[in-house]
Structure 1
Amino acid sequence: MDPKFLKLTKLDEKIYSTFRETFKELDIKLLKPDDLKSDEAKETWRPFCNQFEGLIEDFNYGTLLRLDCEKDYTEENTIFATRVQFFAVEIARNREGYNNTVFMSKSSKS
């Protein structure tokens, strides 16, 4: 399925719009660990994530997130993030066309 049409949660629209309001300049194509883990980043991410408490099940549980969206999950290309951070970044990558590279490479192999 084309990633632009993929729905990850019932709240995709709210997650995406709030994410882009909060993180207008964040380069989601190639994340850096400091984008999620620096003290400054945590100050912005914390209130963003906490607004989804009670709305997204296990919103603050840890999950793996790809740093470079054009590459698969590998030890070098993953970072530990919260579930709502994962949803925010991957929904944005889907909507903004950044996940097309992986989608096209996987669909051309079938």
Structure 2
Amino acid sequence: MALAGVPDDVGPEGMLAAAGVLSRPAEEFENDPSIEALWAMRAVEHAEVYFNILCSVDPRLLRLTPHDDTIYREFREEFPDLQVAQIPEDDLKSPEAKQKWRPFCERFQGVIEDYNLGTLLRLDGAGEYSEQNTVLVTRIQFYAVELARNREGVNDGVRDRFKPRGRQGP
């Protein structure tokens, strides 16, 4: 999965270096384009790994965190009617949605590492990651939606429709 402005040839050493830089306090960076590119690379790498896992194993058997049961239960208590098969971006990003999501996300501060890290989410659970089918959300929103998709059978057909891919770049 290529991303504009992010080199494809970073390799494992570059990713480790990027992870080290990204662990520093955000206040040190002030909209540095190179740091934004590192964050984007990290989000793309996460999306590639997760989608390859979905293409390889039964999603109902996946454990995304040690807190999956709690995340799923609280998600469905807070968002009982949210249809996770196809999520309109407004259900995640509108001002009203943000007011509802913010308290949900904050419950996991100190519980889920990087709970508010920018993470890519597929809007249509039947599709793959693409520019048209991807939105940036917090890590805990990703976990909540993908846990629901896995437990509710939305991701069951991914293995039949797609095959795992090798990493982009050398």
Same fold (TM over 0.5): yes
Are the counterparts in 2 of residues 3 and 103 from structure 1 also a CA contact under 8 Å?
Answer: no
User: What is the DSSP-based 3-state SS (H/G/I as helix, E as strand, rest coil) of the residue aligned with 1:18?
Assistant: helix
Are the counterparts in 2 of residues 28 and 93 from structure 1 also a CA contact under 8 Å?
Answer: yes
Alignment of structure 1 residues 1-110 onto 2, 5 Å: 1-106=57-162
One-letter amino acid matched to 1:94? N
Segments of structure 2 that go 5 or more residues without pairing to the other structure are 1-56, 164-170
Cα deviation for residue 86 of structure 1 reads 0.2
Cα deviation for residue 7 of structure 1 reads 0.4
Larger gyration radius, structure 1 or structure 2: 2
Cα deviation for residue 101 of structure 1 reads 1.5
| Cα distance in 1 between the residues matched to 2:141 and 2:133 | 16
**Structure 1 partner of 2:35:** none
- 4+ residue runs over 2 A deviation: 103-107
Q: How far does the alpha carbon of each residue in 1:13-62 deviate from its partner, in whole angstroms, 9 at most, with x for none?
A: 00000000000000100011101001110111000000000000010010
Question: Which structure: greater helix fraction?
Answer: 2
User: What is the DSSP-based 3-state SS (H/G/I as helix, E as strand, rest coil) of the residue aligned with 1:99?
Assistant: helix
Cα deviation for residue 106 of structure 1 reads 3.5
